[in-house]
Amino acid sequence: MSELRRRAVEGSLYLSLRRVLTIALSIAGMLYVTRIIGPANYGLYASAMGVYLYLTQLVSMGVRTYLIRAPQDAPREVWHQAFWWLLGFGSALTGVAVVALWLLGAYWIRTEGFFAVATAISVGLPLHAVSIVAQAALEKELRYKRIALIDTLAQVGSYAVSIPMALLGFGVWALVAAYWAAQLVSFTLAFISARYRPRWYWNRDQLRDMLRFSFVQAASEWLYNAKNLAPALVLLPIAGKEAVGYFTLAERLLNMLNFAQIAIRNVTTAVFARVQDQPQKMLHALYVSSQAQILSLGGACLLFVLSAWYVLPPIFGTQWDIRLATLALALLASEQLLTAIFSAQAQALYVIRQPHVVTRAALVFVFNLYWSTALLTYLAPEGYAVLGYGVAYFLAHLPNNVFLHRGVARYIGQPRYGMNLLWAVALGVALFAPVAFYAPLLALGVFLLPASRRALRELLHEVRALRTQS
């Protein structure tokens, strides 16, 4: 267990350092790209990218997790089978997607440029599909240092292309070109680093076993990640491209700030796989993982919101109402603080092969997401549709979290929450300090409670123990 902990700590460190670097790069991108192209062009690209991200979930079908969970001595044919399946399925899905995008653009979304931009992005789906095999090989070996390097170089490549194009007036196509640059860099370096060379192999029995596992897991992911379609299918037709631009900017800021949370989550899957037959250790890993995610995400978002309220408006210029985007960020971050607890539970349920629980939870979430976002977006005051959408997004997650809690209690054991829920709520409330005369900061008083101080000491002790073993 000490070796596993050492590798987990190293993996979290490398991924966190990578996220810190990409934050700096993303800020540069926002200054030189997002500011120039404006919220309308950014919203158009984000809508198309949301559709593409959902297609990537469809094509992966849980194959990445299947490969990571494969025994260490699994034959190489397993990887070859996955490669050829992903290539064939990805190509077929691309053809279906192009037809569906044309129908959506013509009869529902009806936004100029949507079909062209979405198609230009979606034809890269087969490339993404086969990259899953090489990336899974790196993750299985816990080579997080190399993964961090690849992600960083891919982002450098994207900005090297998009910044000059944005300055030259290419608008939304600067972002499309940036996507392709990142995709090509990531694809090339992943295969070189994994030293994987595909060879022709096709075995129906092996494919059937892979798809049986992958489909059961993927069903819940397909449902949950239908949220990526909501900006294009709900927000764009009702509120327009600018509303999507503000929502996506808030999402992008959140993704920049949760660098430590993503690193912890990535490493947690591998840790759960190693202790899946030891319920008590898995429950402890759930507790510590959630606790670390809440503190890292909440602290980063709070510091950012308090400073961004005054610093970012002059930087982004008059095209953007950056305070509106910051409020949307506060809504998304407060939801993510709660989700940090229950997303770890979903990971654990996947590992112990109980994905049907996550599927039910995702079905409830998607149903609540679409009707609530459509309703609150429509009812929101003019210019504030993105906030109505954010509130609906928050509320739609609550029943989903209850389902996951019940699943963990049934199949693993009673989850331990400690002060995690209270911390998540307190940090979520504090994020709205700039719009309420900073009174919400009083919620941070929960960290002065004896139980909070005791929990923080326990977490610090855990971190020190890991550092000693590493």
Quote the pLDDT of residue 287. Answer: 85
Quote the pLDDT of residue 422. Answer: 92
With a cut of 90, say whether residue 19 has pLDDT above it. Answer: no
User: What's the mean pLDDT in 314-330?
Assistant: 87
Read off the pLDDT band of 470 (50, 70, 90).
very low
Mean predicted lDDT score pLDDT of the chain: 84
Cβ atoms of residues 426 and 446 within 8 Å: yes
Q: Which residues of 339-364 are buried (b: 16+ CB within 10 A; e: fewer)?
A: bbbbbbbbbbbbbbebbebbbbbbbb
Quote the pLDDT of residue 1. Answer: 46
With a cut of 80, say whether residue 260 has pLDDT above it. Answer: no
Quote the Cα angle for 459-461-467, to 5°.
105
Q: Show the tokens assigned to 388.
A: 């109505």
Rounded Cα distance between 219 and 358, Å, is 9
With a cut of 90, say whether residue 65 has pLDDT above it. Answer: no
Cβ atoms of residues 408 and 346 within 8 Å: no
Quote the pLDDT of residue 22. Answer: 59
Cβ atoms of residues 15 and 266 within 8 Å: yes
Read off the pLDDT band of 15 (50, 70, 90).
low
The DSSP secondary-structure symbol of 107 reads: I
User: What's the mean pLDDT in 323-336?
Assistant: 92
Quote the pLDDT of residue 6. Answer: 54
Number of domains in the chain: 1
Helices (H) and strands (E) in the chain, counts: 19, 0
Rounded Cα distance between 313 and 319, Å, is 10
pLDDT in tens, 211-225: 877 776 677 778 888
Q: Where are the alpha helices (DSSP H) in 141-203?
A: 144-167, 172-194
pLDDT in tens, 271-282: 777 777 788 888
Contacts for 87-95 with beta carbons within 8 Å, 24 or more apart? 87/126, 87/129, 87/130, 89/59, 89/61, 89/129, 90/59, 90/125, 90/126, 90/128, 90/129, 90/130, 91/126, 93/55, 93/58, 93/59, 93/125, 94/55, 94/122, 94/123, 94/125, 94/126
User: What's the mean pLDDT in 238-260?
Assistant: 86
Q: How far is CA 421 from CA 118, 301, 340, 427, in A?
A: 39, 17, 10, 10
Read off the pLDDT band of 302 (50, 70, 90).
very high
How far is residue 252 CA from its own chain's centroid? 10
Share above pLDDT 70 across residues of the chain, in percent, rounded to a whole number:
87
With a cut of 70, say whether residue 463 has pLDDT above it. Answer: no
Single-letter amino acid code for the residue at 247: F
Q: Enumerate residues 6+ apart whose C-beta is below 8 A from 83.
A: 130, 133, 198
User: What's the mean pLDDT in 328-342?
Assistant: 90
Q: N- to C-terminal Cα distance for the chain?
A: 11
Rounded Cα distance between 350 and 358, Å, is 8
Most distant CA pair in the chain, distance: 65
How does DSSP assign 212-277, residue by residue?
Answer: HHHHHHHHHHHHHGGGGGHIIIIIHHHH-HHHHHHHHHHHHHHHHHTHHHHHHHHHHHHHHHHTTT
Q: How far is CA 301 from CA 37, 308, 426, 428, in A?
A: 25, 10, 13, 9
For residue 377, what are the domain limits?
Answer: 2-469
Among 23-27, 88-92, 140-144, 456-460, the range scoring the smallest mean pLDDT is: 23-27
Q: Enumerate residues 6+ apart whose C-beta is below 8 A from 105.
A: 111, 114, 115, 118
User: What's the mean pLDDT in 262-277?
Assistant: 70
Candidate ranges 137-146, 211-220, 368-377; pick with highest mean pLDDT: 368-377
pLDDT in tens, 398-445: 998 898 999 999 998 998 888 889 999 999 999 999 988 899 999 999
pLDDT in tens, 336-372: 998 888 888 888 887 787 878 888 888 899 999 999 9
Quote the Cα angle for 211-215-221, to 5°.
145
* Number of Cβ within a 10 Å radius of residue 417: 16
Q: How far is CA 360 from CA 126, 345, 355, 406, in A?
A: 29, 14, 9, 11
